[in-house]
Structure 1
Amino acid sequence: MPHRTELYQDVPSTCWPIVYSPDYNITFMGLEKLHPFDAGKWGKVIDFLKEEKLVVDDLIVQAREATEDDLLVVHTRRYLNKLKAGKLAVDRGWAINVGGGFHHCSSDKGGGFCAYADITLAIKFLFERVQGVSKATIIDLDAHQGNGHERDFMDDNRVYIMDAYNRYIYPGDGFAKRAIKRKVELEWGTEDTEYLQKVQTHVEGALNELKPDIVVYNAGTDILDGDPLGGLAISPQGIVKRDEVVFKAARSRRIPILMVTSGGYQKRTARIIADSILNLHNLGLIDKELATSGAVNPKVEQMLRNSIADLTNLSLQ
């Protein structure tokens, strides 16, 4: 029987399924400025969307905090004892969490700036609580291999993983690669034309090979040219087009999609994420009413209207 939780509550139909909390932005007496990660990028994304008049505060879904019992769905108690609190994001047919995507964390081990296995948690909550959701596809397009969720779903045939990453950088987890059903290993300095062709081919191939009930899309912007950790050379326009390709593939197949923003270590990534969300809206691929318009998988449409699927986002207290 599913455990009791406050994470699944009705979301007003007037809200965009765009999830954010000010607690996503980590500060520590100014010392965060010395770290390569832009700890305030999530708030900047929301500010850009407000400037473009896509959202206002009252139309954004506020992330909820996970209890220890919620996190024990994925993590061991021993591991949780080492960590602070977490924040949750939601899924209502389609959703974009402007944080999240901690794909180096597995159920018993953190790594690479990742403290909670939020992708694993989201999928396991869906399997546990949403009738008709029995298959999931992870499309991981962060520059780094998503070894955390790969280790968690190593022997789970319900989860199909596609992962495209720079083959030469962290984490180089050979064991975790065994879980990848569609592996795309990229060279240093891969540019737009080659990258987008591979994304298009392999996303279409993955969704043709197995039609899932939910797609979790890890949309890291560390593929951007000049990123100090990613080692690829994708333009801002290439990132916007990449997200468009993934959403078109899911929407054309009537598959709900949950996007998280994951890595991205330059100040300009917040603007690019906002531009991508605006592009998805302009193309009609996301809309407040999309989740209730018959555009999602009929098996899960009603449950997705009334349920919240959860992603854990780190917020050190």
Structure 2
Amino acid sequence: MATASSSIPQPRLPAATETVRRNRILSSKLYFDVPLAKVPVIYSPSYDIAFLGIEKLHPFDSSKWGRICQFLIKEGVLDKNRIVEPLEALKDDLLVVHSESYLASLKSSLNVSIIVEVPPVAFLPNWLVQKKVLYPFRKQVGGSILAAKLAKERGWAINVGGGFHHCSAEKGGGFCVYADITLCIQYAFVRLNISRVMIIDLDAHQGNGYEIDFSNDSRVYVLDMYNSQIYPFDYEAKRYIDHKVELVSGTKTKEYLEELDKALEVARNNFDPQLVIYNAGTDILDGDPLGRLKISPEGVAIRDEKVFRFAREKDIPLLMLTSGGYMKTSARVIADSITNLSKKRLIDMEVLQSRK
């Protein structure tokens, strides 16, 4: 198990490589000062993917992110003028984690189509794939990275997007092209003076990407609760989970929440994080074709509330990523859950206080 020791051993890169990585992080423009008049909710219209109708061939709801915000704005929970728009993660930003060869592979439309699992993409010119598919993902990566800074300052942050937990430094998969969780943590290590991060991954799928990336890094504690009977079946990555809860298809709300309570208690007793990254996939919903669990919308709201209370009780900054969810109802469920968090005063959409 990872510990909270201040002298945690860290994996060592060659000195030159580590220096280059640090310099890239320090020179990045993805961290910028956000006025207190803004709330720590991060979104850009560029998140949403639409091109030639091809997005309709994909199981992912590529307009989910925008509709979440629309629901919150319509119901008066969120003022559209107070949303934070992130910058795009550029090549130098991505090279903090990804290799030149991996990024070069994304210049092939065929390679991109394999990762996002939309075969027609393979026949499109790369400039169009870059603009209509990869640019939205890079904006979401910028949002995930900025969310850590905002969480540290405000106590919480929500990137209405991100959570690409199947992507590692050298390999994409499962609709995940860039390793935003790994990038977010590497930036936090350098820019926020943080050395202990807990990932709470409650997407229906195992978060194998960052698990591989942090396989030998005891600064990162992983709590991963997922359906063991679905993709990605990554048995190597499972070895690097500090506390795993393997569910089976058809798990219902009551059992799910009971397992979550026990898992959070184990995490509470085994690690003292300075930052919590919450991967809050809604593919656990009953009826989701890829998650195959049977959790009610109310169960999702209770789940999110439990995780936010976990962080609030220990005064730990928390950032939430929306991750997977493959039904049109997911946007409504996420918006309702954020509304519930606001009503329960676990997030504050009105009165903002700096936490520096």
Q: TM-score, normalised by structure 1?
A: 0.90
Kindly name which structure, 1 or 2, has the bigger radius of gyration based on alpha carbons.
Answer: 2
Note if contact 2:78-2:349 (Cα within 8 Å) is conserved in structure 1.
no
Note if contact 2:342-2:349 (Cα within 8 Å) is conserved in structure 1.
no
> How far apart are 1:289 and its partner, in Å?
6.7
Aligned AA (1:227): D
Deviation per CA, 1:224-247: give whole Å up to 9, x if none.
001000010000000010000000
**More helix per residue:** 2
Gaps of 5+ in 2: 1-21, 107-129
Partner residue of 1:123?
Answer: 185
Note if contact 1:104-1:110 (Cα within 8 Å) is conserved in structure 2.
yes
Aligned AA (1:38): D
> Residues of 2 paired with 1:292 and 1:209: CA distance?
30
Note if contact 1:164-1:184 (Cα within 8 Å) is conserved in structure 2.
yes
Partner residue of 1:101?
Answer: 163
> Residues of 2 paired with 1:207 and 1:276: CA distance?
23
Partner residue of 1:278?
Answer: 339
Deviation per CA, 1:120-169: give whole Å up to 9, x if none.
000110001112x1000000000000000100000000000010011110
Q: TM-score, normalised by structure 2?
A: 0.80
Note if contact 1:2-1:128 (Cα within 8 Å) is conserved in structure 2.
no
Deviation per CA, 1:171-226: give whole Å up to 9, x if none.
00000001100010001100011000111111232122111010000000000001
CA distance 1:166–1:21, shift in 2 (3 Å):
same
Residue 226 (structure 2) aligned to one of 165, 181, 187 = 165
Residue correspondences, number:
294
> Residues of 1 paired with 2:23 and 2:320: CA distance?
25
Are 2:23 and 1:2 aligned? yes
> Residues of 1 paired with 2:351 and 2:264: CA distance?
22
Partner residue of 1:186?
Answer: 247
- Aligned residue for 2:238, secondary structure, equals helix
Note if contact 1:15-1:288 (Cα within 8 Å) is conserved in structure 2.
no
- Aligned residue for 1:157, secondary structure, equals coil
**More strand per residue:** 1
Note if contact 2:41-2:160 (Cα within 8 Å) is conserved in structure 1.
yes
- Aligned residue for 2:157, secondary structure, equals strand
> Residues of 1 paired with 2:42 and 2:174: CA distance?
23
Residue 47 (structure 1) aligned to one of 55, 58, 70 = 70
Gaps of 5+ in 1: 294-300, 303-317
Q: Percent identity?
A: 55
Q: Which ranges of 4 or more aligned residues in structure 1 deviate by more than 6 Å?
A: none
- Aligned residue for 1:179, secondary structure, equals coil
Residue 39 (structure 2) aligned to one of 3, 12, 16 = 16
